Amino acid sequence: KLSKRVIRMGKSSAIKKVAEHLKNHPEAKVIFMVGAGISTSCGIPDFRSPKTGLYHNLAKLNLPFAEAVFDVDYFDKNPQPFYTLARELYPGNFKPSKFHYLMKLFENNKRLQRIYTQNIDTLEHQALISGSYVIEAHGSFSKNHCIKCSKEYPLEKFKSKLKIDETHSEDSGSTDFDYARCDDCGGLVKPAIVFFGEGLPSRFFDTWEEDQEWFLKEKEKNHLVLIAGTSLTVYPFASLPEEVPPEVRRALINQELVGDFKAFPREEDIIIHGDVDDAAQKLAAELGWLTDLELLAAGG
Ligand code: CNA
């Protein structure tokens, strides 16, 4: 039933529907919920896209299972896969996408309520979106701590070890590769990225509770939730869309139909099948923000 409706609506008219919603409700603000798909055009692979995703490419690291790269016990035994991945993902190596800049324009136009991101690439900050709007649900590289005694370390502690040591190349299979270790107990130092089995930052839960109350208080303003570039498979983040109150409209921009949009579609959902940057460009055009988007993307 849903797929018929999606086909009937088409991509352009779905984008127009989002734009119309925002134009018809000038007080409405947007909460974004985003994932790795908004950064793939920046050159950062996502997890699950076939052939290009990180899980596909991790095969060469001989992991017992792909998710082991984000498993604390595995990291304790063998930090090399995480170091390899961190080298690929480390903030500073990439520029934001058009989609990131679209979110910045929502802030500039006072139409942004929040961005819940699963990404650890900090591209929201690089797009100069104010930190008060951004919830990094899966942590970031900006803090580090020892996995044994929890002693905290500055960013440099881990970062300095990311440079490939020619004499102890990972490929040579050397076991004394130079990993960041705690000065007190010798435990491995790990960035504050949420690994499987670890708790999410309390700011994630606190802010989501506030935002849910905000929805209830401001029902008549017709706020919108826009979900983009995520497979909605990692919990508890993946449950956010289903916790959006039924009277609040949801839109999805993604290459595939995912999560609650697939399992429990709502009559009012708007589905934009396709590329996030392409959708960002079209939505910006509909909202009269295209020149601003192009200026931001060009770095000026
Ligand atoms: P995922 O499971 O890899 O899903 C990505 C989704 O985005 C898929 O549904 C894709 O079809 C879709 N997609 C990919 N490219 C595009 C595009 N250009 N336009 C539209 N849709 C696209 O990633 P999730 O974020 O859902 O999974 C959560 C994990 C991924 C979090 O724990 C992250 O920390 C982790 N991750 C983050 C990064 C990053 O920080 N950039 C990179 C890789 C993985």
Residue 230 gets the label, from left (phi > 0), alpha (psi -120 to 50) or beta, of beta
Q: What is the pLDDT of residue 55?
A: 74
Helix H, strand E, coil C: the string for 248-262 is CEEEEEECCCCHHHH
Quick check: 5 pLDDT over 60?
no
Q: What is the pLDDT of residue 1?
A: 47
Cβ atoms of residues 118 and 219 within 8 Å: no
Q: Each residue of 177-190: b (16+ CB within 10 Å) or e? A: beebbbeeeebbbb
Best probe residue, ligand 1, of 11, 46, 99 (max atoms within 8 Å of C-beta): 46
| ipTM attached to this prediction | 0.98
List, in sequence order, the alpha helices (H) in 33-129.
Answer: 54-57, 72-77, 80-89, 98-108, 123-126
Write the CA distances from 248 to 211, 212, 244, integer angstroms.
Answer: 12, 10, 7
Q: Is 91 in the pocket of ligand 1 (CB under 6 A)?
A: no
The alpha carbon of residue 5 and the mean position of all alpha carbons in its chain are separated, in whole angstroms, by 28
129-177 residue pLDDT tens: 999 999 999 998 888 999 999 999 998 999 999 876 544 444 544 444 6
In this prediction, residue 91 has a pLDDT band, given cuts at 50, 70 and 90, of confident
How far is Cα 88 from Cα 54, in angstroms, rounded to an integer?
10
Q: What is the mean pLDDT of residues 247-273?
A: 96
How far is Cα 114 from Cα 206, in angstroms, rounded to an integer?
13
% of the chain beyond a pLDDT of 90: 72
Q: What is the pLDDT of residue 164?
A: 61
**Strand, helix or coil for residue 105:** helix
138, 145, 223, 273: the active-site residue: 138
Q: What is the pLDDT of residue 92?
A: 82
Q: Which residue has the higher pLDDT, 93 or 247?
A: 247
32-58 residue pLDDT tens: 999 999 999 998 888 877 777 777 777
Quick check: 60 pLDDT over 80?
no
Cβ atoms of residues 116 and 33 within 8 Å: yes
Give the H/E segment covering residue 145: strand 139-146
Q: What is the pLDDT of residue 46?
A: 85
Q: Is 136 in the pocket of ligand 1 (CB under 6 A)?
A: no
Residues in the chain, total: 300
- Paired with 5 in beta bridges are none
Q: Which residue has the higher pLDDT, 65 or 136?
A: 136
192-222 residue pLDDT tens: 999 987 889 999 999 999 999 999 999 999 9
